[in-house]
Amino acid sequence: MFPEWFEGPLGVSIVGRAIEDGILEVELIDLRPHGLGRHKQLDDAPFGGGPGMVMRIEPLAEVLEPLAETHRVLFTPSGDPMTQSTLDRWSSLPEITFVCGRYEGIDQRVIDHFIDEETSLGDYVLAGGEVAAAAAIEGIARLLPGVVGNPDSTEFESFRDGLLEEPVYTRPAEFRGWKVPEILLSGDHARIEAWRAEQRRRRTEERRPDLLDGLQSET
Ligand code: SAM
């Protein structure tokens, strides 16, 4: 309902460059022209009563039916959480359609008949799906070949091996007496790698033990 919302997120940094370089193509579809009647109505009161308005099926059917060849994702708090593996999967698809809801949500029949996957950005309620779509587009863009300068930077980072990233440091080696861990200055690459692996594991244990549960159930 608000294609203009995307002007910023699609215009700058990695996503902006990916689009400019022709690596990523984003088409914004305005739902309003598909609305009903003179006022191009998109919503209506919920059957059975209750607060707020619900997005009607007709405009969404008109837009989503011809896009059946694409993978149609609806952003909703009721969906599966969006994780790095979701983005990995999506980044290999030739075409994907993101549906951004507004109001109290979308008529369930849209979901039953025109949506292939329901995805949530997290356990909180936003006003619309645009923030989730922008997050997905940025997460996908940086996985596309040629977008991030050094492909290693998307290979060695949080969630890649199921763990959080280790702490990272740069110059100066000391600031206000706060020193960079000695090992990182040692030049001993094998010991540095062992230290990093240990830090990844420790940080994940402390902050996100749920990720380790996932790793154990995989092995
Ligand atoms: N009544 C809905 C509920 O309780 O789940 C929330 C509707 S929300 C105000 C309006 C729209 O914002 C949703 O249809 C969805 O597209 C989007 N949205 C809100 N929170 C979201 C989240 N955590 N993840 C993905 N999309 C979200």
pLDDT in tens, the chain (219 residues): 999 999 999 999 999 999 999 999 999 999 999 999 999 999 999 999 999 999 999 999 999 999 999 999 999 999 999 999 999 999 999 999 999 999 999 999 999 999 999 999 999 999 999 999 999 999 999 999 999 988 777 877 888 889 999 999 999 999 999 999 999 999 999 999 999 999 999 999 999 999 998 777 665
CATH value of 3-141 in 3.40.1280.10, 1.20.1730.10, 3.40.50.1970, 3.40.50.300: 3.40.1280.10
The reported pLDDT for the residue numbered 216 is: 72
Instruction: Name which residue sits closest to atom 5 of ligand 1, judged by CA.
Output: 77
The rounded Å distance from CA 106 to ligand 1 centre is: 9
C-alpha angle 58-60-65 in degrees, rounded to nearest 5: 100
Atom of ligand 1 nearest to the CA of 122: 23
Instruction: Say yes or no: CB of residue 209 within 6 Å of ligand 1.
Output: no
The reported pLDDT for the residue numbered 190 is: 98
Instruction: Say yes or no: CB of residue 115 within 6 Å of ligand 1.
Output: no
Instruction: Say yes or no: CB of residue 125 within 6 Å of ligand 1.
Output: yes
Q: Is 54 exposed, middle or buried (CB count within 10 Å of its CB: 0-12, 13-18, 19+)?
A: buried
Atom of ligand 1 nearest to the CA of 119: 25
The rounded Å distance from CA 110 to ligand 1 centre is: 15
Atom of ligand 1 nearest to the CA of 132: 25
The reported pLDDT for the residue numbered 152 is: 78
Mutate-to-test residue for ligand 1 from 98, 125, 130, 137, highest number of ligand atoms within 8 A of CB? 125
Can you list the alpha helix ranges (DSSP code H) found in the chain? 7-11, 13-20, 57-64, 84-91, 108-114, 130-141, 152-155, 189-207, 209-218
- Does residue 46 have a cis bond before it (omega within 30 degrees)? no
Instruction: Say yes or no: CB of residue 204 within 6 Å of ligand 1.
Output: no
**Residue 110 corresponds to which amino acid?**
V
Parts of the chain belonging to CATH 3.40.1280.10: 3-141
156-218 is a CATH 2.40.50.140 domain: no
Instruction: Say yes or no: CB of residue 100 within 6 Å of ligand 1.
Output: yes
Beta strands at 43-44 and 54-55: parallel, antiparallel or unpaired: antiparallel
Q: What is the pTM of this model?
A: 0.94
Helix (H, G, I), strand (E, B) or coil at 82: coil
The reported pLDDT for the residue numbered 218 is: 62
Instruction: Say yes or no: CB of residue 80 within 6 Å of ligand 1.
Output: no
